[in-house]
Amino acid sequence: MASTNQTIINALYDDDDVLLSGVKQVREKGLEIQEVYSPFPVHGLDKAMGLKETRIAIAAFLYGTLGLATAISLTYGMMIVDWPLNIGGKPSFSWGENMPAFVPIMFELTVFFAAHLMVWTFFFRNKIYPGAKAQNPDPRTTDDKFLMEVVAGGDHSNEDIMALLKETGAIEVSVNSAEHA
Amino acid sequence: MHYEAPIRKPLIEGDKSYHDITVDVVRPVESSAPKSWWLVFSLALLAFLWGVGCILYTIGVGIGTWGLNKTVGWAWDITNFVWWVGIGHAGTLISAVLLLFRQKWRMSINRSAEAMTIFSVIQAALFPGIHMGRIWLAYFVFPIPNQFGSLWVNFNSPLLWDVFAISTYFSVSVVFWYVGLIPDFAMIRDRAVKPVQKHIYKILSFGWGGKAKHWQRFEEVSLVLAGLATPLVLSVHTIVSMDFATSVIPGWHTTIFPPYFVAGAIFSGFAMVQTLLIIVRKVFKMEQYITIQHIEMMNIVIMLTGSIVGIAYITELFIAWYSGVEYEQYAFLNRATGPYWWAYWSMMTCNVFSPQFMWIKKLRTSLMFTFFISIVVNIGMWFERFVIIVTSLHRDYLPSSWSMFSPTFVDIGIFIGTIGFFFVLFLLYARTFPVIAQAELKTILKSSGDNYKKLQEKQEQEHGEH
């Protein structure tokens, strides 16, 4: 998020509700939270951290539209323009007249494009791919612990921040000055 | 925030903490396989290999090795295809439809149910492939330019709709399943001590770290995928039924087919989930996660969909008579009283009669009885497809062409082979994958866990006193 040479203070929690109230208190003090790692989605955490709403559903809608357009072009190009078929005395006529028979294809391709491209977007935006290095600094955060990373600085000394974090119910607090991208 | 009405029974029994869930889910992955696993796996593998042999024989010699004749041109292959696709439906129903309805009880069972979906769709997809006869020309089903110039696929054909439906269904189910698996693989990765195991789970977990933004996207992706998969699961068996319904064969040419097939698919799928999960919960000691309540809920779904199927059978009979079409009337008379009467009445007994026992609470909460009924239902649903397909074909418009169908050892071998293949895949999955969606399950621990519910009740009582 910010520059590479900042001091990060880690606070480890062992309960999601304590973490959530901790996040609120830290933000009330005007401190910046760099990241929170949790073993499962904590309800309300994104709002408490002030994260923007994700736009991935809008992307999925656009991908679905693309899928529908693909289905229309495929059926139009192949069945109407390039090779019209006369099946059992029933010619293809125009795309509009033939459209009811194309509904299943239009539906399936809409779903196909929306689902797959959305999941690809999810992978790209999260920078996750086969063999990627684990993003969580503490392996306990995929089990039952919650890690909050607070950016040190401003009017607060490191000691103040650490005392505040302890007060919010963190079970472990440590300073991590290693560069965090 | 974690409030749930006290009248709802806990979904996670036995005072669990977040860490307990981790340990319980990962146990089968981290321990070595028991002898019983190897025994069942070997049996499944043998059945699978026998099936591979029969498939290779079919491809080498041609489908003349099957029991088909010029009247009954479709029989066990399409029966098995529809049966396996139908079984697949429960997984998506549990993970997608129950997600949209916010049914928390889906969380302990959705992972295995979806694994079952994927593995059974694989079995299903085998059958059209080998029935083509020349499997090396299978790419003809895709709309790609080929050596005959611009001869394209026929988008008016339900068989082509099926290709699109099954491909979309299979691939979307796989990504839906995999997205849910990523955080759980990350959990196994972070616990693994053996380097090889750690490396494998590192690759599988895609480096997932559980960042807040990523969880936010994760939940949105799950919701949108569920929204997409819900109409998709209904479309798949609808389109499968159109393979029959758009034809002019008496007994097939009916508008009731799509809803009737979908209900039947969910019916058989839930039965298969019961069969598998009753064993899984016992072997992996997961009784506290897959509780009697879960089994009961699924039995209620079986009872409901079984009754819908029963109504569909009776409606079909009524409409056949009411239509006044002699051929249609004969097709149904022949089903019930003709040479295949035993198949028809097996279907009726297994699918319409047997699920009605689930009205009795004692029976639907009994494991032994549920297991028995789940097998009965799957036998019944196989017969349903056999009845629809073979008895509609074997006595067609021209009495001089009437004939019977009897399967050869190749027909039977391929069917047994797919059952073996299915269990090979499921057994491998059960030992290497987290069989419960543990990250999701942890989100409901505080609202539906036994200990937390008791705590909540106690607090409420204290509030009441003051």
The DSSP secondary structure of B52-63, one letter per residue, reads HHHHHHHHHH-G
- The pLDDT of residue A89 is 81
- The pLDDT of residue B446 is 83
Averaged pLDDT for residues B199-218: 92
Task: Name the more confident of A64 and A172.
Answer: A64
Predicted confidence band of residue A4 (pLDDT cuts 50, 70, 90) = low
Q: Delimit the CATH 3.30.70.260 region(s) of chain A.
A: 8-39+144-176
Tens digits of residue pLDDT in B257-283 = 999 999 999 999 999 999 999 998 888
Answer whether A39 sits within 8 Å of B18, measured CB to CB: yes
Instruction: Calculate the CA B117 to chain-centre distance.
Output: 4
Tell whether the model's pLDDT for residue B225 goes beyond 70. Answer: yes
Distance CA A99, CA A94 (A): 8
Answer whether B187 sits within 8 Å of A87, measured CB to CB: no
Predicted confidence band of residue A180 (pLDDT cuts 50, 70, 90) = very low
CATH of A8-39+144-176, one of 3.30.70.260, 3.30.70.120, 3.20.20.70, 1.10.645.10: 3.30.70.260
- The pLDDT of residue B135 is 87
- The pLDDT of residue A5 is 61
Chain A and chain B share a number of CB contacts under 8 A equal to: 210
Q: Containing H/E element for B224?
A: helix B212-245
Q: What is the mean pLDDT of chain B?
A: 90
- The pLDDT of residue B296 is 92
Predicted confidence band of residue B396 (pLDDT cuts 50, 70, 90) = confident
Answer whether A39 sits within 8 Å of B189, measured CB to CB: no
Residue B19: list chain A partners with CB under 8 A.
143-144
Distance CA B419, CA B84 (A): 10
- The pLDDT of residue B148 is 64
Let me know if residue B437 belongs to a domain: yes
Averaged pLDDT for residues B198-205: 92
Tens digits of residue pLDDT in B301-347 = 999 999 999 999 999 999 999 999 988 999 999 999 999 999 999 99
Averaged pLDDT for residues A53-77: 94
Let me know if residue B328 belongs to a domain: yes
Exposed/middle/buried for B156, CB within 10 Å: 0-12, 13-18, 19+? buried
Q: Is A42 helix (H, G, I), strand (E, B) or coil?
A: coil
Alpha helices by DSSP H, listed for B391-449, are 392-394, 409-432, 438-443, 445-448
- The pLDDT of residue A1 is 45
Q: How many CA atoms lie within 13 A of B154 on its CB side?
A: 9
Answer whether B190 sits within 8 Å of A127, measured CB to CB: no
CA distance B460 to chain A (A): 19
Residue B205: list chain A partners with CB under 8 A.
134
Tens digits of residue pLDDT in B99-137 = 888 888 888 888 999 999 999 999 999 999 898 888 888
Strand partners of residue A9: A150, A175
Predicted confidence band of residue B466 (pLDDT cuts 50, 70, 90) = low
Tens digits of residue pLDDT in A78-131 = 888 888 888 778 787 788 888 999 999 999 999 999 999 999 999 999 999 998
* Token representation of residue B207: 């480096």
Let me know if residue B444 belongs to a domain: yes
Predicted confidence band of residue B50 (pLDDT cuts 50, 70, 90) = very high
- The pLDDT of residue B462 is 79
Predicted confidence band of residue B149 (pLDDT cuts 50, 70, 90) = low
- The pLDDT of residue A117 is 96
Tell whether the model's pLDDT for residue A181 goes beyond 50. Answer: no
- The pLDDT of residue B452 is 82
Q: Is A12 helix (H, G, I), strand (E, B) or coil?
A: strand
- Going by C-alpha positions, the residue among B428, B334, B343 that lies closest to residue B380 is B343
Tell whether the model's pLDDT for residue B93 goes beyond 50. Answer: yes
Predicted confidence band of residue A160 (pLDDT cuts 50, 70, 90) = confident
CA distance A31 to chain B (A): 17
Report how many domains make up chain B.
1
Distance CA A109, CA A104 (A): 9
Distance CA B245, CA B261 (A): 11
Helix axes A16-28, A158-167, angle to 10 degrees: 140
- Going by C-alpha positions, the residue among B464, B458, B456 that lies closest to residue B2 is B456
Burial B431-457, CB ≥16 within 10 A → b, else e: bebbbbbbbbbbbbbbbbbbbbbeebe
CB of A41 within 8 Å of a chain B CB? The answer is yes
- The pLDDT of residue A85 is 80
Best mutation site among A107, A126, A147 for testing chain B: the one with the most B CBs within 10 Å?
A126
Name the residue with tokens 């009247």: B71
Residue A40: list chain B partners with CB under 8 A.
183, 210, 215, 439-440, 442-443
Tell whether the model's pLDDT for residue B1 goes beyond 80. Answer: no
Predicted confidence band of residue B388 (pLDDT cuts 50, 70, 90) = very high
CA angle, corner B425, sides to B421 and B431, nearest 5? 145
Distance CA B90, CA B266 (A): 5
Closest residue on chain A to B441 (Cα): A40
- The answer to whether B85 and B265 have CB atoms below 8 angstroms apart is yes
- The answer to whether B335 and B391 have CB atoms below 8 angstroms apart is yes
Averaged pLDDT for residues B154-171: 92
Tens digits of residue pLDDT in B51-67 = 999 999 999 998 899 99
- The answer to whether A28 and A163 have CB atoms below 8 angstroms apart is no
Let me know if residue B1 belongs to a domain: no
Size (chain A), residues: 181
Tell whether the model's pLDDT for residue B13 goes beyond 70. Answer: yes
Residue B151: list chain A partners with CB under 8 A.
83
Q: How many CA atoms lie within 13 A of B349 on its CB side?
A: 9
- Going by C-alpha positions, the residue among B22, B46, B30, B8 that lies closest to residue B420 is B46
